[in-house]
Amino acid sequence: MSPLPARPADRPLVMGVVNVTPDSFSDGGRWFDPRAAIEHAHSLIAQGADILDVGGESTRPGAARPTDEEELARVLPVVRELAPVVPVSVDTMRASVAQACVEAGAAIVNDVSGGLADARMAEVVAQAQVPYVAMHWRGHSHDMQTRTQYDDVVEDVLRELAQRRDALLDAGVRPELLVLDPGLGFAKTAAQNWAVLAATARFAELGHELLVGASRKSFLATVGSLDGEAIPADERDAATAAVSVVLAQAKVWAIRVHEVRSTRAALDVVAALERAR
């Protein structure tokens, strides 16, 4: 069994994003080549990443899915290279990709579908006994933004995520290895994302550690904009770091970000204030 990486006493863990995709919303495919992805990963480690999240499928709204073979060819060489250096999470909805990457050394499976996209996922992670991140999810990228109807977004997401938790535990996923993610940016409008973020403490009441990923997402697009125009995704790291402060104060287990240095600095501020108190 691979244990869940421990959260430091004074801050959340920082999960750095390594997109091995040609169509990422945040970097436009800059790290699609495996060697470029590995070099980028080492720069994130140097900035202070505790975990690297390697993904071969873009989940931006409207993205097309790669085949199983394409996804595995993208991520497997990167996982193999990085796993001896730092804890690696594989960001995948496919059980076959998760299994191959765990066998190659991945320590965590991060599934944005929470096991809904592939019925075999729960079985694979339960047998492997590795930490598993289950996110709130309502559908694939091509139509997820048509699924934003909620009676009360916080209550509905809490209920749906609790249902996934229960199903995963029933399927044999160990409770101490299950991490939940409220799914910012997935089947949610900007206003709904802010509501879910404001309710972070409610999601902790589900009884599991939390991973939250707000980094560079579209609901942050106008944060800091003086004219109301959208700020490009790769210029949203200041807004992301501000969200990281909020998440640190909520005591989440880990924060998933594209640019590590600014979030680590933000977490240092929170830790210094806690010590001063």
pLDDT in tens, 118-129: 999 999 999 999
Answer whether residue 29 shows pLDDT above 70: no
3-state SS assignment for residue 113: coil
Answer whether residue 25 shows pLDDT above 70: no
Catalytic, out of 217, 236, 261, 277: 217
Answer whether residue 11 shows pLDDT above 90: yes
**Cα atoms in the 13 Å half-sphere on the side-chain side of 116:** 16
Residue-level pLDDT at 8 = 96
Mean pLDDT value of segment 240-249: 98
**pLDDT band, very low/low/confident/very high, at 65 (cuts 50, 70, 90):** confident
Catalytic, 188? Answer: no
pLDDT tens-digit readout, 81-110: 999 999 999 999 999 999 999 999 999 999
Residue 34 CB partners (closer than 8 Å, separation 6+): 20, 74, 77, 78, 81
Residue-level pLDDT at 1 = 74
Which DSSP string do the residues of 166-186 spell out, in sequence order? HHHHHTT--GGGEEEE--TTS
Residue-level pLDDT at 22 = 75
Q: Does residue 68 contact residue 94 with C-beta atoms inside 8 Å?
A: yes
pLDDT tens-digit readout, 140-195: 887 888 889 999 999 999 999 999 999 999 999 999 999 999 999 999 999 999 99
Residue-level pLDDT at 166 = 98
Catalytic, out of 256, 261, 264, 277: 256
**Measured between alpha carbons, how far is residue 112 from residues 25, 55, 101, 119, 180 in Å?**
16, 11, 16, 14, 10
The DSSP output letter for 133 is E
Higher pLDDT, 1 or 240: 240
Residue-level pLDDT at 61 = 75
Question: What is the token pair recorded at 232?
Answer: 């490009």
